[in-house]
A and B are shown apart, each in its own frame.
Chain A
Amino acid sequence: MQLTLEFGGGLELLCDSVKIHNVSINPENGVGKLVMKDLLSWVRSNLIKERPEMFMKGDTVRPGVLVLVNDCDWELSGQLDTTLEEKDVVVFISTLHGG
């Protein structure tokens, strides 16, 4: 499954300062369904090069990190249970910095 992942608000520094990543992920289970929970796991293992605690806390993103799927708040689509589809754009924005 092709996805575009974007990191903002300082999170890009955890991924070698690259803001936009075009990735290809194979869903774990045979059904071919990918949910946010799995995506987060994948991101932590494959894209986050340092200080993973800045991105995730437990199973979910660190409080203060906003997640948008196709420019929509993930709180509207079920947060960790959000199903991802081909060509989706997922944006992670950290709010944890000075204003």
Chain B
Amino acid sequence: MEEAGAKPRKGVSCLCCICDNRKAALKRPKTLQQICRECFYEVFEEEIHQVIVKNHLFRPGERIAVGASGGKDSTVLAYVLSELNRRHNYGLDLFLLSVDEGITGYRDDSLETVKRNEIQYGLPLQIVSYKDLYGWTMDEIVKMIGLKNNCTFCGVFRRQALDRGAALLKVDKLATGHNADDMAETVLLNILRGDIARLSRCTAIITGEDGPIPRCKPFKYTYEKEIVMYAYFKKLDYFSTECIYSPNAYRGFAREFIKDLERIRPRAILDIIKSGEDFRISTSTKMPEQGTCERCGYISSQKWCKACVLLEGLNRGLPKLGIGRSRGLDNETEKREMKGRSSDGQTRSIESKQCGTLDF
């Protein structure tokens, strides 16, 4: 803990450039300013308040679920939203929503953290699990599909699980802790994969307004480093281990690159987001159209939504179904395969697991 009378180290007796009074504790990557703890709390919280107000993220009286994993971003988000809600009278009813993917040694520990957050912040908690919703835990899925493409399954299932949980809580919106670093990584990922449809949507601060539950990202312009420093100085309780299945994720490469970039020119992160926002798709590019899934009614640009395709693959023992690029704009070939024939032409009888309803 810092004391007011701490002797300044040789060469580091710089004062906060905002208050010019207290000793500087960190250098903000966003602005390269050297500021003290108290001024940091103020600018950090004020900037997020401005993002919320300028982008009209919330309306008074709304019920908002905070996607809470127990990790640094969601814990800080829950803390800061609570605080700003009180301070600025947003008039919101806040809840914590957690998804249990069934990853032993990772999710069970982080859920303990969310349960503590429930008490610490006084926000009601709802947990939804893959087992209940789909009949499969991530551990079971990985056993079937191996260690590749795990994030594809998990990400798709989690998106719907959050919508399900949000419906149970009867909330109007979902707030997630995606930060500036995440956004920049996503822009890069979509460029690296040539995913034009996602590229045009991924920087939006509010998404899914035409779906079951709109979502917003109050931390869109907030640097990961600042979130961690805020949590550290305020001694916020969060869980911090990498998902055991993530080392093979493609996102890791984009992340490595962004981190290296940040070191040389921290502003690059916000600039990449800006580039993402300002991309315009040529009018001659064919874009997928949005419809609804024939099986469950969820929004989808194909005949079946991704979750239904993946689930079908799991239940029929076809782990590659829905993985990899389908060349056309619909997945007719995938549907034909799903109608009972596996890739080697033989019909297989695999015991189907009971899956919950996905009706929307």
- A residues near B, CB below 8 A? 8-10, 13, 62-64, 66, 68-73, 75-78, 83, 85, 91, 93-99
A77 to B9, CA, bound (A): 8
Most B CB within 10 A of own CB, among A10, A69, A98? A98
A49 to B24, CA, bound (A): 34
A76-B25, A94-B240, A97-B242 are known; give 16 further A-B pairs, CB within 8 A.
A62-B259, A63-B256, A63-B262, A66-B229, A69-B9, A72-B24, A73-B25, A73-B26, A73-B229, A77-B9, A77-B11, A78-B11, A91-B232, A93-B232, A95-B224, A98-B71
A70 to B256, CA, bound (A): 28
Whose C-beta in chain A lies nearest to the C-beta of B260?
A63
A72 to B2, CA, bound (A): 9
Question: How many residue pairs at the A-B interface have CB separations less than 8 Å?
Answer: 90
- B residues near A, CB below 8 A? 1-2, 6, 9-12, 14, 23-27, 34, 69, 71-74, 177-179, 182, 224-225, 227-229, 232-233, 240-243, 246, 255-256, 259-260, 262-263
Q: Check if B1 sits within 8 Å of A71, measured CB to CB.
A: yes
Q: Check if B72 sits within 8 Å of A99, measured CB to CB.
A: yes
Q: Check if B26 sits within 8 Å of A96, measured CB to CB.
A: no
Chain A to chain B: the 3 pairs with minimum beta-carbon distance, closest first: A99-B73, A63-B259, A73-B26
User: Nearest-CB distance from B240 to chain A (Å)?
Assistant: 5
Also in contact, A98 and B243, with CB within 8 A (given A66-B228, A78-B11)? yes
Most A CB within 10 A of own CB, among B10, B12, B69, B225? B12
Q: Check if A76 sits within 8 Å of B259, measured CB to CB.
A: no
User: Nearest-CB distance from B191 to chain A (Å)?
Assistant: 20
Contacts of A94 in B (CB 8 A): 240
A8 to B242, CA, bound (A): 13
